[in-house]
Structure 1
Amino acid sequence: MSKLPGNAGVSVLGDKSLEFYRDPVSFCRQRVEKHHSRVFQCRILNRPTAFICSVQGMRELLCDKSNLFIKDPTDLMTNMYGDTVVTTNGEEACLLRLSLTSLFSGSCLESSSDYITRVCERCLKDLSMSSQPECAYSAFKRLGTELVLGLFLNVRAEEQPELYQEIAQLCTQHWHGLISAPVNVKVPMWSSGFSTALDARDKLMEIIKDKLENEKHGFVGTLASLPLPKSSSASQHLLLFISALIPKALASLLTSFTLALCGNKQMCQRAVEDPDYLHNVLLEVQRLWPPFIGGRRIADQDATLAGFLVPKNHGVIYISHSIHRDPEVFHEPDSFLPERWSGGNAGQEHLLCSFGNGPRGCIGTKLTDVFLKEACMYLLKHYNWCLDPPSQDLEYKWLPVSRPINTPTVSFSRLDQSKSDRSHSS
C-alpha cells in the first residue's frame, strides 16, 4: 500500500478546481507525466481528491470495491433531480435500479425500436437538402431530443409541436442553469442561471406529473405503475430521463462518429456490410471521445485503489478519457483502430466507462446502443459526407459534454442521387 502521489494542498488556497474544469484532459495528462503514475491526488472542490486514470483503478472503484465509495449526497445533481438512481446510495439505489431496469430491456426495449427507426428517418432524411453545410452537432442534438421526449414522455414533435417545443426549451434552460454557478438569485429584470434552471424544473415537473396521472401507455404509463420507494420517484426519474443530458450525449457520440469516418468510404462501406464492425467502430468512438469526462465518489472508509491508500472522506474522480487511453490495456491508445475490438481487446467492452461501470453503471446503456446503431446505419446507408470547409479546428472541449470547441460543419450528399432528385422536385 503506497501513499497517493501528488499534493492535496491546503484548504481553499490549494484548490485546483478552476484549473481542472478549464481543461481536464491537459490537467490529468500533465500530472500523470509528472508523477509517473495514473493515480494521483489534488484538491478539488476544496476536498483532497484521488484521480483515477487507469483501467485497474477504475475497475476497483466502480466494480470490485464500489461498496466502499458513495455518491456525494451534497452533489448538485441531487439538488436538481432529487433522490434518483443516479444520486442515491446503498439499499435505496439497489431497489431503484431493480425497479427501473425492466424499462430499458426486453419487451420495453423492443417496443421502442419502430419509433426510433421512424424518428431517425424523419430527422436525418433532409441532411443533404441545404445548400449550406450542416452543423452536425446541432442536427444530432435535435434528433436526440425528439427520441427522448417521444419515448419517455409520449410527446411527439410531429403530433404536438407546441408542447414539444415548450418542453425542449424548458429542458435547455434547465440544463444551462444546472451547469452554471449554483446561486439562486432573482432581482427585477434578471435571474441567475441556476434560478432559471429551478424555474424550468418546476414547470417541467408540472407537465411530468400531468403525464403520469393521465397517460396509461408507453414508457410513462409503465413507470407510473412501478413499485417505487417514494411518491415523487417517478416524476424525479422522468425529469432525469428527459433532461438535455441524454440528447447531448447522443449528439456528442454521433458527431464523433461522423468526424471519425469523414471521407473514409472504405470504412463506411465495411460498417454498412458488417454489423460487428459497426459495433467495433462505435466502441472505438466511445473509447476515444467519451461524452462524459468521468464521475465522482467519496470514500466511505479507508480503502486502496490500484495499490494506493485512499483515506476516508477523500474524493475520488475517475477520468474516462485517460482510462480509455491507458497504454497498459490499449495498444496505440491515441489511434482510432476499430479492429482492436476483434483483436487484442476482444471481449473487453467492460473496460470502458463512458456511462459508468459496474453495479452503478447507466441503466440505459442498451437503449443508447440502439439509438446510436439506428442513427449511424441510416447515415451510412444514405450519405457520403465530408468536412466543409475541409480544414477545420477539431480540438475538443470535454465539459460539460465532449465535442469540438468550434462546432464542425459537414456536407452530406445522398448515395442514391435519383432519390435525392425526386425529393427536391416533390
Structure 2
Amino acid sequence: MSKLPGNAGVSVLGDKSLEFYRDPVSFCRQRIDKHRSRVFVSRLLNRPTVFICSVEAMRELLCEKSNQFLKDPTDLMTNVYGDTIVTTNGEEACLLRLSFTSLFTGTRLESSSDYITSVCERCLKDLSVRDQPQCGYSVFKHLGTELVLGLFLNVRAEEQPELFEEISQLCTTHWHGLISAPINLKGPLWSSGFSTALDARDKLMDIVKDKLQNDKEGFVGHLGSLPLPDSRAAAQHLLLFISALIPKALASLLTSFTLALSGNEKEETRRRAKEDPDFLHRVLLEVQRLWPPFIGGRRLADQDSTLAGFLVPKDYGVVYISHAIHRDPEVFQEPDSFLPDRWSGRNAGQEHFLCSFGNGPRNCIGPKLTNVFLKLIILPPVPRFFPPSIPPIHPAPPLHQGNLHS
C-alpha cells in the first residue's frame, strides 16, 4: 500500500477548486506529469480529494469498490434537484434504479423514434442552406431541449411555443445553480445566482406537479404510475429529466462529432459512417472517448480503502476525470488521436472502460436514450446534418467545466 502522490494542502488556503474548475484538463495534465502518476491527491471544495485519471482506478472506484465510495449527501445536486437517483445511496438508490430503468429502454424508446425524427428534420433542415457561420453548440442544445421537453413533459415547441420558451429559460436559470457559489441571498435589487436558480426550481416544480396531476399519457403518465418511495419522488425526478443536463450532453457530443468529421481530409470517414452503422457506432465511441461531455463525477470514501494500490482515508473526496481516464496510454494507444477503428481492434469490446456517463452499478440510466438521439439525428432521414453539408460552425468546448456529473 503506497502513499498518495501530491499534497492535500491546508484548509481554505490550500484549496485548488478555482484552479481546477478554470481548466480541469490542464490541472490534471500538470499533476500527472509532476507526480508521474495518474492517481494523485489535492484539495477540492476544501476537502482532501483523490483525483482518478486511470482506467484501472476508475473501474475500482465505480465497480469493484462502489459500496465503499458513496455519493455526497451535501452535494449541490441535492440542493438543486432534491433526493433523486443521482444523489441517493444504498437501498433507496437501488430501488429507484429498478423503477426508472424500464422508462429508458426497449419499446418506450422505439415508440419515441417518430417524434425524435420529426423534431430533428425541422430543427436541422436549414443548416445546409445558410451562408453565415453558426454556433453549432447552440443549434444542437435547442434541438436537445425540444426533444427532452416533448418526450418527458409533453410540451412541444410547435404546439405550445410560449410555454416551451418559458420552461427553456427556467431550465437554463435552474442549471446555473450548479455552477454558482451556494449562497442563498435575496434582496429587493439583487439576488445571488444560487438564489435565482432556486426560484427557477420552484417555478419548474409547479409546472411539473401540474403535469403529473393532469397528464396521464406518455412519459409523464408512466412516471406518475411508478411505485416510488414518497410523493415527492416523481416530481423531483421529472425535474431532473427535463433539466439542461441531457441537452447539454447531447449538444456537446454532436458538436464534437461535427468538428471531428468536418474537412476534406475526412471525406472517406464520412462516407463509411453513412454507409456502415457499425463504423458509425465506433465513430461515436471515439467522439465520446476524446471529448466526454462532463468532467467526471465525485464520491466520498465511506471507510479507509485503496485505489490502484494507494491508501484513501475515510472521508476523503474522490473525483474521477473522464477526459484523463479516456486518454490513459496503458489502455488506449495513441490516446490523443481520433481513431474509430481502435474499437474493432485493440479496444474491441472495451466500451466499459469509458465513463462519460459514469460506470458500474451507479452509471447513468439514460445512455441508451442518448444513443438513440444521436443516431436518429445523424443518420437518414436527416442526411443534411452530416458535416460536409453544414456551413461553418463556431465550436463550443465539448467539456462542460462547470459541473461534475454524479
TM-score with structure 2 setting the length = 0.95
**Structure 2 match to 1:76:** 76
AA of the residue aligned to 1:349: E
AA of the residue aligned to 2:349: G
- SS of 1:309's equivalent in the other structure is strand
Deviation readout 1:126-153 (Å, 9 max, x if unpaired): 1123331221001000100000000000
Residues in 1 aligned to 2:398 and 2:126: alpha-carbon distance in whole angstroms: 27
Residue of 266, 270, 273 corresponding to 1:271: 273
Residues in 1 aligned to 2:150 and 2:102: alpha-carbon distance in whole angstroms: 18
Q: How does 1:376-391 map to 2 (within 5 A)?
A: 376-378=378-380, 381-382=383-384, 383=386, 384-385=388-389, 388=392
Farther off after superposition, 1-10 or 275-284: 1-10
Residues in 2 aligned to 1:78 and 1:401: alpha-carbon distance in whole angstroms: 13
Residues in 1 aligned to 2:363 and 2:49: alpha-carbon distance in whole angstroms: 21
Residues in 2 aligned to 1:386 and 1:218: alpha-carbon distance in whole angstroms: 34
**Structure 2 match to 1:157:** 157
Q: How does 1:344-363 map to 2 (within 5 A)?
A: 344-363=346-365
Rate the CA distance shift 1:123–1:18 in 2: closer, same or farther, 3 A.
same
> In the alignment, is the contact (CA less than 8 A) between 2:50 and 2:319 conserved in 1?
yes
1:338 aligns with 2:372: no
> In the alignment, is the contact (CA less than 8 A) between 2:293 and 2:398 conserved in 1?
no
Shift of 1:385: 4.0
Residues in 1 aligned to 2:173 and 2:62: alpha-carbon distance in whole angstroms: 32
Residues in 1 aligned to 2:374 and 2:396: alpha-carbon distance in whole angstroms: 21
Residues in 1 aligned to 2:381 and 2:195: alpha-carbon distance in whole angstroms: 39
Deviation readout 1:315-364 (Å, 9 max, x if unpaired): 00000000000000000000000000011100000000000000000000
Shift of 1:184: 1.2
**Structure 2 match to 1:282:** 284
**Aligned-pair Cα RMSD in Å:** 1.7
Shift of 1:386: 6.3
AA of the residue aligned to 1:268: R
Shift of 1:162: 1.0
**Structure 2 match to 1:99:** 99
- SS of 1:187's equivalent in the other structure is coil
Shift of 1:387: 6.8
Residues in 1 aligned to 2:347 and 2:90: alpha-carbon distance in whole angstroms: 33
- SS of 2:300's equivalent in the other structure is strand
Rate the CA distance shift 1:289–1:153 in 2: closer, same or farther, 3 A.
same
Residues in 2 aligned to 1:128 and 1:145: alpha-carbon distance in whole angstroms: 21
- SS of 1:400's equivalent in the other structure is coil
Deviation readout 1:184-243 (Å, 9 max, x if unpaired): 111122211111111111110001000001111100100000000011000000100111
Q: Tell me how many residue pairs correspond in the alignment.
A: 400
AA of the residue aligned to 2:201: R
Shift of 1:301: 0.3
Farther off after superposition, 263-272 or 95-104: 263-272
Residues in 2 aligned to 1:242 and 1:394: alpha-carbon distance in whole angstroms: 22
Residues in 1 aligned to 2:92 and 2:177: alpha-carbon distance in whole angstroms: 28
TM-score with structure 1 setting the length = 0.91
- SS of 1:191's equivalent in the other structure is coil
**Structure 1 match to 2:12:** 12
Shift of 1:176: 2.0
Residues in 2 aligned to 1:388 and 1:5: alpha-carbon distance in whole angstroms: 44
**Structure 2 match to 1:314:** 316
Residues in 2 aligned to 1:109 and 1:332: alpha-carbon distance in whole angstroms: 36
**Structure 2 match to 1:177:** 177
Shift of 1:115: 1.1
Rate the CA distance shift 1:282–1:115 in 2: closer, same or farther, 3 A.
same
Q: How does 1:103-114 map to 2 (within 5 A)?
A: 103-114=103-114
> In the alignment, is the contact (CA less than 8 A) between 2:144 and 2:247 conserved in 1?
yes
Rate the CA distance shift 1:343–1:401 in 2: closer, same or farther, 3 A.
farther
**Structure 2 match to 1:127:** 127
> In the alignment, is the contact (CA less than 8 A) between 1:252 and 1:401 conserved in 2?
no
Rate the CA distance shift 1:194–1:381 in 2: closer, same or farther, 3 A.
same
**Structure 2 match to 1:260:** 260
1:209 aligns with 2:213: no
AA of the residue aligned to 1:280: R
- SS of 2:331's equivalent in the other structure is coil
**Structure 2 match to 1:44:** 44
Residues in 1 aligned to 2:391 and 2:324: alpha-carbon distance in whole angstroms: 27
Rate the CA distance shift 1:58–1:379 in 2: closer, same or farther, 3 A.
farther
Residues in 2 aligned to 1:308 and 1:105: alpha-carbon distance in whole angstroms: 38
Q: How does 1:345-424 map to 2 (within 5 A)?
A: 345-378=347-380, 381-382=383-384, 383=386, 384-385=388-389, 388=392, 398-400=400-402
Listed as ranges, the gaps of 5+ residues in structure 2 are none
Residues in 1 aligned to 2:51 and 2:251: alpha-carbon distance in whole angstroms: 27
Residues in 2 aligned to 1:43 and 1:120: alpha-carbon distance in whole angstroms: 43
Q: How does 1:195-206 map to 2 (within 5 A)?
A: 195-206=195-206
AA of the residue aligned to 1:388: P
AA of the residue aligned to 1:88: T
Residue of 286, 293, 296 corresponding to 1:294: 296
AA of the residue aligned to 1:320: S
Shift of 1:388: 3.4
Farther off after superposition, 60-69 or 7-16: 7-16
Sequence identity percentage: 76
The answer to which structure, 1 or 2, has the higher relative contact order (CA under 8 A, 6+ apart) is 2
Deviation readout 1:94-120 (Å, 9 max, x if unpaired): 000000000001121111111111111
- SS of 2:111's equivalent in the other structure is helix
> In the alignment, is the contact (CA less than 8 A) between 1:260 and 1:285 conserved in 2?
yes
Residues in 1 aligned to 2:256 and 2:247: alpha-carbon distance in whole angstroms: 14
Deviation readout 1:359-406 (Å, 9 max, x if unpaired): 0000001000000111122497225246738xx88876641279xxxx
Residues in 2 aligned to 1:329 and 1:380: alpha-carbon distance in whole angstroms: 35
Listed as ranges, the gaps of 5+ residues in structure 1 are 403-426
- SS of 2:379's equivalent in the other structure is helix
